Amino acid sequence: MAATRQINVTLPTDLADLLEQKVRSGGYASANDVVVEGVRALLEQEDSLERWLREEVVPGYEAYRSDPDNIIPADQVLARIKARRDAGTAGR
């Protein structure tokens, strides 16, 4: 079993009510379980964001920096998206 440490947390009333409802509904055995899952979900979200930044944003930025003339301006991208959308809805 993982080592644990007790801490005291103060929540806004609406979040405390939600936490208690999660336990009352039987979805969780205790308030502790709700908080643990919430912290784990936060860590997963942060990891996912970090991975996206590292794997997609940074390489895209580096590609732009190495050859700025090879980038499609945002207004052209948006125009292409709108044209595809319009073409897809034209036959409806």
Tokens 């644990």 sit on residue: 4
| Segment 5-24, tens digit of pLDDT | 999 999 999 999 999 999 99
Report pTM. 0.67
Average pLDDT of the residues of the chain: 93
Residue 69 predicted with pLDDT over 90: no
Residue 73 predicted with pLDDT over 90: no
Q: 26 — alpha (psi -120 to 50), left (phi > 0) or beta?
A: left
What are residue 41's phi and psi, to 5 degrees? -65, -40
